[in-house]
């Protein structure tokens, strides 16, 4: 796989989690104006009320991915105490993921091809019974996206079922540009993960950083900028 990205030196994928309203209200116009397509990892309940707008987003060639049905995370998070991964089994987390795919297929007419691990966590159980559910994702999806990583993905070595993803919430243009330049220098695939889009704040990608970063991406002609599923498909074919 000498040129995993075809004519491009590196790749960048922007992704946003949870199906939050600000992604439609503040982010979509920025992305479409720049001609940059992103991946949105959604919860079925979060997008059902505005399904028509999410369908329009999908029809403009952004990717809709699976982010689970109930967003199970470690019980160390207060919001997940009643849905803790420590209390899940492989069977129950598989059912959660499959139900999300079924509901998203009902909403959008196609099952998602990629998945994002809620909270970036990919385990069930605790202690001696703790187990990874990455194999379940590998069986069901073209790719699974992690979260909170400190590196981009080596196209020759990365595990498509558990991709590294760098958090872009709170980053300014200088920090985002540095990540882009590192990916170009290394020939890697930079996957960025964010949440809300708009004013600076907790789990927000600031418009003041995203807008010029999108412009920078469109001027960088040796970097493939595409949704997670498209880049994963390219690497799968190359392998």
Tell me the pLDDT of the chain (239 aa) as tens digits. Answer: 667 998 999 999 999 999 999 999 999 999 999 999 999 999 999 999 999 999 999 999 999 999 999 999 999 999 999 999 999 999 999 999 999 999 999 999 999 999 999 999 999 999 999 999 999 999 999 999 999 999 999 999 999 999 999 999 999 999 999 999 999 999 999 999 999 999 988 999 999 999 999 999 999 999 999 999 999 999 999 98
Distance in angstroms (rounded) separating the CA atoms of residues 146 and 191: 9
* Residue 5 is assigned to a structural domain of this protein: no
Position 211 in a domain: yes
**CATH, residue 173:** 3.20.20.370
**Is the residue at 221 inside a domain?**
yes
Domain for residue 3, yes or no?
no
Residue 2 within a domain: no
Q: Is residue 94 part of a domain?
A: yes
Task: Answer yes or no: is 200 within a domain.
Answer: yes
> Taking a C-beta distance cutoff of 8 angstroms, is the pair 124, 94 a contact?
no
Report the number of distinct structural domains present in the chain: 1
Could you tell me the residue range of the domain that residue 110 belongs to?
A: 10-238
List the one residue out of 202, 208, 205, 211 whose CA is nearest residue 192.
205
Residues 6+ apart with CB under 8 A from 106: none
Q: Is residue 1 part of a domain?
A: no
Q: Report whether 209 contacts 173 (CB < 8 A).
A: yes
pTM of the model: 0.97
């Amino acid at each position: 796989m000498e040129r995993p990205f075809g004519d491009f030196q590196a790749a960048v994928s922007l992704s946003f989690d949870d199906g939050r309203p600000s992604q439609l209200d503040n982010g979509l116009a920025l992305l479409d104006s720049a001609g940059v397509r992103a991946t949105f990892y959604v919860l079925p309940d979060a997008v059902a009320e505005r399904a028509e707008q999410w369908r329009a987003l999908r029809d403009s060639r952004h990717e809709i991915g699976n982010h689970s049905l109930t967003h199970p995370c470690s019980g160390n998070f207060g919001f997940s105490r009643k849905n803790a991964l420590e209390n899940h089994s492989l069977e129950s987390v598989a059912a959660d993921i499959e139900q999300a795919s079924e509901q998203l297929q009902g909403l959008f007419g196609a099952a998602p091809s990629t998945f994002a691990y809620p909270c970036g966590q990919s385990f069930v159980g605790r202690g001696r019974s703790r187990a990874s559910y990455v194999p379940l994702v590998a069986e069901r999806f073209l790719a699974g996206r992690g979260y909170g990583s400190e590196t981009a993905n080596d196209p020759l070595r990365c595990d498509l079922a558990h991709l590294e993803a760098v958090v872009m919430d709170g980053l300014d243009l200088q920090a985002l540009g540095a990540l882009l330049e590192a990916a170009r220098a290394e020939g890697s695939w930079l996957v960025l993960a964010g949440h809300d889009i708009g004013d600076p704040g907790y789990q927000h990608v600031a418009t003041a950083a995203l807008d010029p970063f999108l412009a920078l991406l469109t001027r960088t002609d040796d970097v493939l900028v595409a949704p997670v599923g498209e880049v994963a498909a390219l690497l799968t074919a190359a392998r």
